[in-house]
Amino acid sequence: MSLMSDAPAVLATQQPAETRQARRGPEIGYLILFVIFTGYMLIPLIGVGLFSVATTWFDTVLPVGYTVDHIVETLNDPLFVPTVGRSIIASLATIAVSVVLMTPVMFLIHVAAPRARPLVEFLSLLPFALPTIVLALSLIRTYSAPPIVLSGTPTLLILAYVVTGLPFMYRALDNSLRAIDTTTLNEASATLGASRWTTLRRVILPNIRTGIAAGALLVFSVTFGEFTLSSFIVGDAWKTSGVWTVAIWDDQPHKTTVMVMIGFLISWIISLVILVGFSKRATVETGQR
């Protein structure tokens, strides 16, 4: 869900609750809740992180010893580069297709065809109502027989990724087009004699770069390491990092946990970039931090 892109808005609307009657009772309850919540969110990560660097660990609370061997072995595994490479290729291709597909449409519903918005919104948010496994089955069903046979190809995987990324791109682009007052910019540009194409390329695009980047990063973090679609659509024929991570669990669980940590690291970095980098304006405006 595109919640990360909503987070800055959440930050911006937070009124510091300077409660008039400072009541001590609930405050302690709040802190207890925070500790439990933070623990619950962090302990699984600590567990998988420790496992990825543990020598032996099966009957002690903490590992007996620590090693970087699993990390080195994972990175040197003959399947590491091909599977991670495929995942990166698929994610980048997804981003490229999504941006090209969505940007003109979003621009137009802001400046020229607001009446098309409900339709575009419906089609873009529809994937939320499609469980991933259902999407996988329906695409296989459709594209494994003529006229169009795509089943088993990375092309279909990428197109499936584009579908799952639609809601993220929609929200990200919509937020940034709203923020820059696209209608006024478009009219100003027209008054100065710029063509539509020039307006989109020279005026609008530079102004919504951060929106596109935020959408692209979100799409990357939901597609990289993805398992369901790749296991159904391409499987072992075009093994992605997600499929590989699951396949090695039974024999080489330490490598699996290294891969899981890599996945977590990527999504943390992306979230940090979005939260810190892109919400700066919003937080400055509300005078926070």
Partner 1 sequence: MSGRTWSRIGLLLAFAPFLIFCLMFELIPTFALLVGSIGGVERHSFEWIGKVFTNATFQRSILNSLLLAVTSSFLGAVIGTAIGYAITRTRHNRLRGPLIGLASLSANAGGISLGFAFITILGSAGMITILLRQFGIDLMSFFSIYSVIGLIVVYLYFQVPLMIVLMLPAFAALKDDWVEASASLGGSRTDFWRRVGIPVLMPSIVAGTVLLFASSMGAYATAQALIGSRINLMTIQISILRRGEILYQPAQADAMATVLLAIVALSVLAYHIMQRQAQRWTHA
For the segment 193-212, give every residue that binds partner 1 (CB under 8 A). 196
Among 40, 147, 206, 236, binds partner 1 (CB under 8 A): 40
Q: Looking at 73, 89, 132, 238, which residue binds partner 1 (CB under 8 A)? A: 132
Shortest gap between Cβ of 54 and partner 1 (angstroms)?
Answer: 9
Q: Could you say which residues in the range 69-98 bind partner 1, by CB under 8 A?
A: none
**What's the min distance (Å) between Cβ of 19 and partner 1?**
7
Taking the complex as a whole, how short is the minimal distance between the CB of residue 206 and partner 1, in angstroms?
20
Burial (CB count <10 Å: 0-12, 13-18, 19+), residue 20: exposed
Site mask for partner 1 (CB under 8 A), range 11-30, x = bound: x-xxxxxxxx-x---xx-xx
Binding residue (CB under 8 A) for partner 1 from 93, 120, 172, 203: 120
Binding residue for partner 1 (CB under 8 A) from 68, 72, 81, 112? 112
Query: Segment near partner 1 (CB under 8 A), from 41-49, 71-79, 87-95, 209-217?
Result: 41-49
Query: CA-based Rg of the chain, rounded to a whole angstrom?
Result: 23
Q: Which of these ranges, 9-17, 66-74, 82-90, 208-216, lies near partner 1 under the rule CB under 8 A?
A: 9-17
Near partner 1 by CB under 8 A: residue from 101, 180, 205, 282: 101
- The CA distance from 51 to 143, in Å, is 41
Closest CB 120 distance from partner 1, rounded Å:
7
Applying the rule CB under 8 A, the residues between 203 and 262 that interact with partner 1 are: 221-222, 225-228, 232, 242, 245-246, 249, 256-257, 260
Q: Is the dihedral of CA 199, 203, 205, 211 positive or negative?
A: negative
Secondary structure of the chain in the HEC alphabet?
Answer: CCHHHHHHHHHHHCCCCCCCCCCHHHHHHHHHHHHHHHHHHHHHHHHHHHHHCECCCCCCCCCCCECCHHHHHHHHCCCHHHHHHHHHHHHHHHHHHHHHHHHHHHHHHHHCCHHHHHHHHHHHHHHHHCCHHHHHHHHHHHHCCCCCCCCCCHHHHHHHHHHHHHHHHHHHHHHHHHHCCHHHHHHHHHHCCCCHHHHHHHHHHHHCHHHHHHHHHHHHHHHCCCCHHHHHHCHHHHCCHHHHHHHCCCCCHHHHHHHHHHHHHHHHHHHHHHHHHHCHHHHHHCCCC
> What is the contact mask toward partner 1 in residues 161 to 200, using x (rule: CB under 8 A)?
-xx----------------------xx--xx----x----
Closer of 9 and 72 to partner 1 (Cβ): 9
Binding test (CB under 8 A) with partner 1, winner from 72, 114, 128, 202: 128
Binding footprint of partner 1, residue count (CB under 8 A)? 101
Q: Is 57 in the site for partner 1 (CB under 8 A)?
A: yes
Among residues 210 and 271, whose Cβ is nearest to partner 1?
Answer: 271
